[in-house]
Amino acid sequence: MDHRPGNSQRIKEEAQRLGFLACGISAAAFLEEEAPRLEQWLSANYNGEMAYMANHFDMRLDPTKLVDGAKSVVTVLLNYFPSVAQKDPCAPKISKYAYGQDYHHVIKGKLRQLTEFIEAEIGVVNGRAFVDSAPVMDKAWAVRSGLGWMGKHTNIIRQREGSFFFIGELILDMELEPDRPMQDHCGTCTRCIDACPTGAIIKPYLVDGSKCISYFTIELKDAIPVEMKGQFDNWTFGCDICQDVCPWNRFAKPHTEPAFDPHSDLPDMTARDWHELTEEVFMKVFQRSAVKRAKFAGLKRNLLFLNERWP
């Protein structure tokens, strides 16, 4: 007897119980449409100094190279839209995804629990969990799994929730009933393209990563180019502009994951607090945050770059 439809539904229900916003399934097939796009993107050097983006090209496109005998990709979304924001409008800004604990650890833990459920309730499975730290094209799998459509800013969008969520995957050697992709609902809107201060969104659905504020403030290890002065709109770690202006994010609802709540001091930090930031305060406020990726020296570099905007 074929139990695939029932198994798929049980996995989705458990994912919801674990706190995921949504869960979708797709067949673990070679990403034919994405292959030429990725090759062209890399050839244009849109990855900048993110050399790792060019590594393991075949693995990014073929899940069977990551998990032997892979048959299904289970993709999950986890909401991170905060209920509180930074209060001082003059303070340097950090991306909402970095307010709380590093999402890699949070999602990996939940995916581990989901895998344990599958093995206990459905059957022995060979698989791996992925959260933005391995050669997996998570946005492509989210689209294929029917969890949303890729917006013109290349983030995944859902009609009822917007785009402020993380993506994770389980690649399994278990055959499951796949979902159907969702229709694109961006229409003629170009707000994200028009709002990007550095012109990183070259055209709909194409982003030059080497021009993105997130790239300059997180990925770039050298000095930020002088010609970028005055273009960061006070962002010091990451950037949410293209998502903040998206009409679909008027439907975003605060997350219910305590791990993503910010340190109590963060919302109240003034421009002067940021200006006078010490390594001790940095370690206290961002001890478990993704901001630690930039390290104290990197964050100070970003703050100095924005120095002229402080009162």
Please provide the DSSP assignment of 199-257 as one string: --EEETTEE-GGG-HHIIIII--SPPPGGGTT-STTEEE---HHHHT-GGGGG------
pTM of the model: 0.94
Query: Quick one: CA torsion of 39, 40, 45, 46, rounded to 10 degrees?
Result: -100
Which residue in the list 58, 132, 194, 268 is annotated as catalytic? 132
pLDDT of residue 134: 82
Question: Roughly how many angstroms between the first and final C-alpha of the chain, as a whole number?
Answer: 70
Cβ atoms within 10 Å, residue 226: 7
- The position carrying tokens 């022995």 is 124
Per-residue pLDDT of the chain in tens (311 residues, 90 and over written 9):
334 669 999 999 999 999 999 999 999 999 999 999 999 999 999 999 999 899 999 999 999 999 999 999 999 999 999 999 999 999 999 999 999 999 999 999 999 999 999 999 999 999 999 998 788 999 999 999 999 999 999 999 999 999 999 999 999 999 999 999 999 999 999 999 999 999 999 999 999 999 999 999 999 999 999 999 999 999 999 999 999 999 999 999 999 999 999 999 999 999 999 989 999 999 999 999 999 999 999 999 999 999 755 44
The secondary structure of 74-136 as a DSSP string is: EEEEEE---S-----TTS-EE-GGGSSS-HHHHHHHHHHHHHHHHHHHT----EEEESSSSS-
Q: Which two tokens stand for residue 257?
A: 């994951």
Q: Catalytic: 132?
A: yes
The domain locations on the chain are: 1-311
